[in-house]
């Protein structure tokens, strides 16, 4: 990013490039190949590299390695869930707005996607109950921690309520947790899966903790679902890419993952603070989420009607933003803005929010 | 493998473990990370790592990098082709027998799979013409070089005939070429794609040339198809795993791939010869393919009725073989045997074929 006059990219939901552990990844792969090279370079288990599954299982209370599945990023795991369990005639409930790529995957499988309004403390549970009761969805897809695209964290009370609704209506939840370990303020809420192990599949990845290039996603769930998904995975790609899994395993067993997470938190915390402070300074009439971690702050500009014109004008003034329609199952969200902050410095964030405010005020 | 009395695994269509370039892969990844680490660890292009696409394009006459797509192994590329272009109401023609995982992928997409008899010089083209004419298949899936599971190489004449039939009936072929560079005898036939660039998508991988663990598959085709497939890939896994692609790129630009292929050919050539010689020695009444490369020799035992009993008896005597039904779209092939030779030494191969003959002769 750049001068006031240049192109300002406020759309990249990616780690800061300088955080990618180039040397660490090389060292980790050398160590992994030294120990276990033939296994890492051969066809492997369709569930993924066993030492990493064991390490992940040991990190989760009461989970065995048979309840862990690794894939080439968590999106592909979600795609396999959609291919196996969703499709024509099925319904999936999602928070509205939610992760655009998840909506795409559900719709591509032919599934009806029903959005349930997201409030500042999580999904509107009365509405979720109605949807569960009336539409009997197959799945509820939720991002309880530092949600994409809003930054919202679901409160403990709502997690407990959702966990109970899953039982009451026989719905399975997919808890997507890629940002969970990147908390910059406050104390963690319990994982949804910890509140209902039978009805929650948790997915996550190391894209935000090590680097997207390792393409290591994981799923924790009951062993029957894992068996079905791993058979589907074998028929799709034989075995996921073990090299990245070997790297992540070394990061975990050597303590490098912890170190890296602390480094990321130190870098991203002031970027989140800069985002919130500059929204207060330049756009006090907007509403936004007081995010406590993750990658995003979601902002609602104060006038929905003006939203479309705002996006047109922003584009013509060199301000690159993510178009909001994809985050809403039936489009909409004209006045919604997703601000990803990790890849921008505090001065860049200030300059970006200032420019957003100028465009808005000039409409 | 082991003693006459122990378990004898004659079912593993995989590279010999000792050929996996453990040190080379580590050196290659270090070199790749040194040059281009941030790109390899970030989210990348859904088409795959550009330097490798450029290197592959330069290896193919008249192909640009826009006509190359990389994926996590070639099976996943085939799965994306099936998801995008096949499905309920569509027909795919295949050689019979053919690669079992391809049949699984086509059927899983809801496609009708029609087998066309494979002769010693390739598919029976009169029958292929009838299938094209009567059933208008969407695709013809073919493995012209050292076919899996038979080892058959399609003759030049038949390749030309197939290329002409594709035009005449408006059918696209998928030419699957994972073994092409592993020729141990004779001169190469032209690639099917070189005979009909408009109607052939060629897929292949580095699983047999470097190691399955790199999970690098590639597809060469027209840029419109590549655009459609790469959009589908992005929606499925955002970006394929670049680390393996960085390794393969280093193998190619440093000449290590050539060296490795020569080493593999030296190792596998006597294994193929041992397979053919021992078939002649112990099972002269059977028929088999005089394979000239690849991983497999397909064998037909002389009595179809006895096939099922043969497999039962072989299992109970510790001889592990691949069940033949999966290679045939409508099952069948009771007396067919796929013998993969790369992961067995010549004495192991002799012992295996001798044991097969004993089981057969004892029926």
pLDDT digit string, tens, across residues A11-42: 888 888 888 988 899 999 999 999 999 999 99
Closest by Cβ to A244, choosing from B43, B104, B243: B243
CA-based nearest distance B17→chain A, Å: 7
d(CA B172, CA B166): 6
- Contact state of B211 with A240 under an 8 Å Cβ cutoff: no
Mean pLDDT across A335-355: 96
Regarding predicted confidence, which is higher, A308 or A228?
A228
pLDDT of res. B12: 86
- Contact state of B243 with A238 under an 8 Å Cβ cutoff: no
Chain B residue nearest residue A39, CA to CA:
B213
C-beta separation of A201 from A220 below 8 A: yes
Pairing of strands A172-176, A200-205: parallel
Chain B residue nearest residue A216, CA to CA:
B241
Helix (H), strand (E) at residue A339: strand A336-340
Measured at the CA of A197, the angle between CA A191 and CA A200, to 5 degrees, comes to 75
pLDDT of res. B350: 96
Tokens of B335: 């007396």
C-beta separation of B199 from B162 below 8 A: no
Under 8 Å CB pairs connecting chains A and B tally to 156
Chain B residue nearest residue A75, CA to CA:
B237
Mean pLDDT across A152-159: 98
Which residue is associated with the tokens 């799945």?
Answer: A139
d(CA B111, CA B120): 27
Omega cis (within 30) before B312:
no
* Three-class secondary structure of residue B165 per DSSP: helix
C-beta separation of A96 from A331 below 8 A: no
Closest CA to B339 of B329, B324, B326: B324
A40 vs B contacts (CB less than 8 Å) = 213
Closest CA to A268 of A247, A291, A299: A291
Chain B residue nearest residue A48, CA to CA:
B213
CATH for A8-16+268-362 (3.40.50.1390, 3.90.1150.10, 3.20.20.370, 3.40.50.720) = 3.90.1150.10
Assess whether pLDDT exceeds 50 at residue A1. no
Q: Which pLDDT band holds residue A5 (cuts at 50, 70, 90)?
A: low
User: What share of chain A has pLDDT > 90, as a percent?
Assistant: 87
The alpha helices in A291-344, defined as continuous H runs, are 307-316
pLDDT of res. B305: 87
C-beta separation of A31 from A250 below 8 A: yes
Torsion sign (Cα): A154, A155, A156, A162: negative
d(CA B175, CA B202): 5
B23 vs A contacts (CB less than 8 Å) = 33, 37
Assess whether pLDDT exceeds 60 at residue A181. yes
Which residue is associated with the tokens 């803005």?
Answer: A337
Topology of domain B8-16+262-362 in CATH is 3.90.1150
CATH for A22-256 (3.40.1160.10, 3.40.640.10, 3.100.10.20, 2.40.160.100) = 3.40.640.10
Closest by Cβ to B30, choosing from A30, A73, A247: A30
Which residue is associated with the tokens 């074929």?
Answer: B353
**Where do the structural domains in chain B lie, given as residue ranges?**
8-16+262-362, 22-256
Which residue is associated with the tokens 């970030």?
Answer: B42
Omega cis (within 30) before B45:
no
Mean pLDDT across A230-248: 94
DSSP label at residue B46: T
List, for residues B171-198, the tens digit of each pLDDT value.
999 999 999 999 999 999 999 999 999 9
pLDDT of res. B5: 58
pLDDT of res. B2: 41
pTM of the shown model = 0.93
List, for residues B128-165, the tens digit of each pLDDT value.
999 999 999 999 999 999 999 999 999 999 999 999 99
Q: Which residues of chain B have pLDDT under 70?
A: 1-5
C-beta separation of B215 from B72 below 8 A: yes
Closest CA to B337 of B268, B274, B289: B289
- List Cβ<8 Å contacts ≥24 apart for B233-236: B233/B46, B233/B47, B233/B69, B233/B71, B233/B80, B234/B46, B235/A101, B235/A104, B235/A105, B235/A108, B236/A75, B236/A76, B236/A79, B236/A105, B236/B80
* B57 CA to centre of own chain: 20
Pairing of strands B139-142, B172-176: parallel
pLDDT of res. A3: 42
What ipTM was estimated for this complex? Answer: 0.91
CA-based nearest distance A154→chain B, Å: 27
């Amino acid at each position: 990013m750049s001068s006031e006059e240049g192109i300002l990219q406020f759309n990249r939901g990616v780690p800061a490039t300088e955080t990618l552990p180039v040397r660490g990844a090389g060292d980790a792969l050398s160590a992994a190949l030294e120990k276990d090279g033939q296994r890492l370079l051969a066809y492997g288990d369709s569930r993924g590299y066993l030492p990493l599954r064991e390490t992940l299982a040991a990190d989760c209370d009461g989970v065995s390695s048979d309840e862990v599945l690794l894939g080439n990023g968590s999106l592909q795991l979600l795609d396999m869930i959609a291919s196996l369990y969703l499709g024509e005639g099925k319904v999936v409930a999602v928070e509205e707005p939610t992760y655009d790529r998840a909506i795409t995957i559900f719709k591509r499988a032919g599934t009806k996607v029903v959005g349930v309004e997201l409030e500042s403390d999580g999904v509107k549970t009365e509405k979720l109950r109605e949807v569960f009761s009336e539409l009997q969805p197959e799945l509820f897809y939720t991002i309880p921690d530092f949600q994409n695209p809003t930054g919202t964290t679901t409160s403990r009370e709502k997690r407990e309520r959702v966990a109970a609704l899953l039982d009451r209506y026989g719905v399975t939840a997919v808890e997507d947790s890629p940002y969970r370990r990147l908390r910059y303020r406050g104390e963690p809420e319990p994982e949804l899966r910890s509140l209902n192990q039978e009805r929650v599949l948790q997915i996550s990845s190391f894209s935000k903790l090590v680097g997207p290039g390792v393409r290591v996603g994981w799923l924790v769930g009951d062993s029957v679902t894992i068996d079905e998904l791993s058979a589907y995975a074998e028929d799709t790609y034989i075995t996921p890419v073990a090299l990245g899994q070997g790297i992540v395993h070394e990061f975990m067993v050597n303590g490098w993952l912890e170190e890296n997470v602390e480094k990321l938190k130190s870098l991203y915390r002031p970027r989140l603070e800069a985002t919130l402070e500059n929204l207060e300074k330049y756009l006090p009439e907007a509403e936004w989420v007081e995010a406590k971690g993750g990658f995003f702050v979601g902002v609602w500009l104060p006038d929905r009607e003006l939203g479309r014109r705002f996006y047109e004008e922003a584009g013509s003034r060199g301000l690159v933003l993510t178009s909001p329609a994809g985050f809403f199952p039936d489009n909409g969200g004209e006045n919604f803005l997703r601000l990803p902050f990790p890849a921008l410095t505090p001065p860049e964030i200030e300059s970006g929010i200032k420019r957003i405010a100028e465009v808005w005020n000039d409409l």
